[in-house]
A and B are shown apart, each in its own frame.
Chain A
Amino acid sequence: MEVSGKAAIFGSNVSTDAIFPSKYMTSLDPLELAKHAMEGVDSGFAQKAQESLIVIAGSNFGCGSSREQAPLALKYAGVKCVLAESFARIFYRNAINIGLPVLELPESSKKIEEGDMLTISLEEGKVMNQTKGLILDAPKLPEFILDIIRAGGLVEHLKQTGGTTR
């Protein structure tokens, strides 16, 4: 499974309040959520994301609230994958469960610049930076997590497996 997009760089400790401000929490419509993706730190993000983005971040991406609206907003805004040095664990699980690929990439921010074209092979854990001609290695995801992502999320995965989570 491969995903491609342009790099959009963020720092460390990006909270779910920044990814999806709480004042919009009363909506359940994914397309409505998408309009406010990253609004807490970049009000023009939703517009930019329409052309396929890969979010690059430092450590602890998605810290704070357990709101699944945060990865949903990113996914429906057009984000294809999030590469971060580390993730807050609830965000990490939520992203996988809704079918938004996430990959830990050590020193991600040092080898990728804003706007670089990236193609990511999730199975192989390889990030190809086409702009810079670099191939970066990320720790591979466990097979059962790849299964969930390939299915498009946990709901689809549960339907396929008949009710076991792994």
Chain B
Amino acid sequence: MNISEKILAASSGRDEVKPNDIVEARVEMAMVNEMTGPLAIQTFEKIGTEKVWDRQRIVLVQDHQVPADTVKSAELHKIMRAFAKEQAIPLLYDIGSGGVCHQVMVEKGHVRPGELVVGADSHSCMYGALGAFATGIGSTEMASVFATGKLWLRVPSSIRINIAGAFQKFVTPKDLILRIVGQVGADGAIYKSIEFTGPAINKIPVSGRLTMCNMTVEMGAKTGIIQPDRTTLDYIRDHASGPFKVVRSDEDATYEETMEFNIDNLEPQVACPHSVDNVKPAKDIQGVEIDQAFIGSCTNGRPEDLELAAEMLKGRRIKEGVRLLVTPASQEVYLEALKRGLLEVFVNAGAYVCNPTCGACFGGHMGLLAAGEVCISSSNRNFQGRMGSPESDVYLASPATVAASALAGEIVDPRHFMGA
């Protein structure tokens, strides 16, 4: 069995599972945010179960519309707080204590290798970077998980993506995953598990692995997963506690398909409007003028991302007429960026530093686009209207490409701009 099959077998009490088996699996941790949580809470109340299955295994995060931008949002936040209180759920991350839910889940140690973790948010597949099987579900299903601690899952077939080589300067895991999404397609991995393997993966830090697994849902995948190695275990030791079991794929594990990528010559990539698989090398679309640039999100809002952007922005000013938003993914990231002096670099460059939130990425608040405007973003989706007006354009790229483009006022290949 491969790692995905092993975790699903263990969590459903079976010795073995194979693709397309339907199993009823026990969930280790379950996360909701205030966009999906209130509906789950209302539905949980309709089921009629008095107490949640395990109050220590539910994580509630306020992140999409924080701080409350409207009275309606404030009401959603209130429902979350009331539920936490009523059910005595200790893991409520309100504003000031958390950040973007997925970053909170990993940095606060709520994901451990070998576990089955579900989140009522599509980017929950990100936690597979730590060797867990993690996937997104909806609110009603989450209500059922709140009540029973279980859910049915179809065991996915797996695609192995084997990565070799080394990144050039200013080429990042984001460029790699964009390249992969471009090749596999937005519907190329529906229902499937994507397992990243190969010598290059071991050299990618957890931050970059999170970026890659985060975007597997953009190919339709159920999860993205990476077998735990020394890097994973170091991260877990620093962030999590409690027992866990390292699960690895068998030598003779089966995969529906194996793909090979070599990153030695990989160039900075950009996903063009309005589809995440419309991917081109940045140099091929140089000259597209931008109005806004966004660095943040669960995909690329971690210290490593901000560090890379700051490296480009240090001592420079962004192009007049361009707005640059920087949103650290969590309070911890914010503090780290503060300590490293990155926030000062951003402010001096003319960037607007925002509080941790999903706001701009999902077109909720804090940086929406007007009709006809163009944004280059380090986030994960560029569907029509995703970040504001249906008549705006969103390009997706790495923090390096976004920062370089903010300086140039148009999309550029960061290597050329920095003379790397």
Say which size band chain B's interface belongs to: 35 or more
- Inter-chain contact B363/A68, CB cutoff 8 Å: no
- Inter-chain contact B152/A166, CB cutoff 8 Å: yes
- Inter-chain contact B122/A166, CB cutoff 8 Å: no
Report chain B residues within 8 Å CB of A163.
Answer: 49, 147-148
Q: What's the Cα separation between A12 and B137 when bound, in Å?
A: 22
- Inter-chain contact A97/B390, CB cutoff 8 Å: no
Report chain B residues within 8 Å CB of A12.
Answer: 187
Closest chain A CB from B194 CB (angstroms): 13
Partner of A17, one of B64, B70, B144, B386: B386
Closest chain A CB from B312 CB (angstroms): 30
Q: What's the Cα separation between A33 and B53 when bound, in Å?
A: 30
Partner of B39, one of A21, A68, A154: A68
A52 contacts partner chain B, Cβ-Cβ < 8 Å = no
- Inter-chain contact B191/A89, CB cutoff 8 Å: yes
Residues of chain B from 375 to 394 with CB closer than 8 A to chain A in the complex = 381, 383-386, 390
- Given A26-B70, A60-B190, A68 and B386 touching (CB < 8 A)? no
A142 contacts partner chain B, Cβ-Cβ < 8 Å = yes
B366 contacts partner chain A, Cβ-Cβ < 8 Å = no
A69 contacts partner chain B, Cβ-Cβ < 8 Å = yes
- Inter-chain contact B22/A142, CB cutoff 8 Å: yes
A165 contacts partner chain B, Cβ-Cβ < 8 Å = yes
Report chain A residues within 8 Å CB of B121.
Answer: 65-66
Interface 9-mer from B40-48, B265-273, B280-288:
B40-48
Taking CB as reference atom, which chain B residue is nearest A58?
B187
Q: What's the Cα separation between A166 and B381 when bound, in Å?
A: 34
- Given A15-B383, A60-B190, A97 and B140 touching (CB < 8 A)? yes
A159 contacts partner chain B, Cβ-Cβ < 8 Å = yes
- Inter-chain contact B150/A18, CB cutoff 8 Å: no
Q: What's the Cα separation between A49 and B46 when bound, in Å?
A: 27
- Inter-chain contact B187/A63, CB cutoff 8 Å: yes
Q: What's the Cα separation between A23 and B137 when bound, in Å?
A: 21
Q: What's the Cα separation between A88 and B138 when bound, in Å?
A: 12
Could you mark each residue 201-233 of chain B with 1 if its beta carbon is under 8 Å from any beta carbon of chain A, else 0?
Answer: 000000000000000000010100000000000
Taking CB as reference atom, which chain B residue is nearest A70?
B138
B289 contacts partner chain A, Cβ-Cβ < 8 Å = no
Taking CB as reference atom, which chain B residue is nearest A94?
B138
Report chain A residues within 8 Å CB of B385.
Answer: 17-18, 21, 40
Could you mark each residue 44-85 of chain B with 1 if its beta carbon is under 8 Å from any beta carbon of chain A, else 0?
Answer: 001111000000000000001100001011011000000000
Closest chain A CB from B221 CB (angstroms): 9
Residues of chain A from 110 to 144 with CB closer than 8 A to chain B in the complex = 142, 144
- Inter-chain contact B383/A165, CB cutoff 8 Å: no
B38 contacts partner chain A, Cβ-Cβ < 8 Å = yes
- Given A17-B386, A65-B122, A155-B43, A60 and B187 touching (CB < 8 A)? yes
Q: What's the Cα separation between A27 and B65 when bound, in Å?
A: 13
B398 contacts partner chain A, Cβ-Cβ < 8 Å = no
- Given A25-B35, A144-B152, A154-B141, A66 and B136 touching (CB < 8 A)? yes
- Given A89-B222, A93-B138, A164-B148, A23 and B187 touching (CB < 8 A)? no
A28 contacts partner chain B, Cβ-Cβ < 8 Å = yes
- Inter-chain contact B138/A97, CB cutoff 8 Å: yes
Report chain B residues within 8 Å CB of A26.
Answer: 65, 70, 72-73, 75-76
A109 contacts partner chain B, Cβ-Cβ < 8 Å = no
Could you mark each residue 5-25 of chain B with 1 if its beta carbon is under 8 Å from any beta carbon of chain A, else 0?
Answer: 000000000000000001010
A31 contacts partner chain B, Cβ-Cβ < 8 Å = no
Closest chain B CB from A4 CB (angstroms): 25
Q: What's the Cα separation between A159 and B43 when bound, in Å?
A: 12
- Inter-chain contact B47/A159, CB cutoff 8 Å: yes
Partner of B141, one of A21, A63, A93, A144: A93
Closest chain B CB from A11 CB (angstroms): 11
Interface residues of B (CB under 8 A from A): 22, 24, 35-36, 38-39, 42-43, 46-49, 64-65, 70, 72-73, 75-76, 120-122, 124, 136-141, 143-144, 147-148, 150-152, 186-187, 190-191, 220, 222, 275, 362-364, 381, 383-386, 390
What are 26 pairs between A and B in contact, CB < 8 Å? A13-B275, A17-B381, A17-B383, A17-B384, A17-B385, A21-B385, A22-B362, A26-B76, A28-B42, A40-B384, A40-B390, A41-B384, A59-B190, A60-B190, A63-B187, A65-B121, A68-B140, A87-B190, A88-B187, A90-B122, A97-B140, A153-B140, A154-B140, A158-B144, A164-B150, A165-B144
Known: A68-B140, A90-B138, A165-B24. 5 other contacts (CB 8 A): A23-B364, A65-B122, A66-B120, A88-B220, A154-B140
Interface residues of A (CB under 8 A from B): 12-13, 15, 17-18, 21-23, 25-28, 40-41, 59-60, 63-69, 86-90, 93-94, 97-98, 142, 144, 153-155, 158-159, 163-166
Give the 9 A-B CB pairs with smallest separation, nearest first: A60-B187, A94-B138, A26-B72, A97-B140, A68-B138, A66-B122, A15-B383, A68-B139, A66-B136
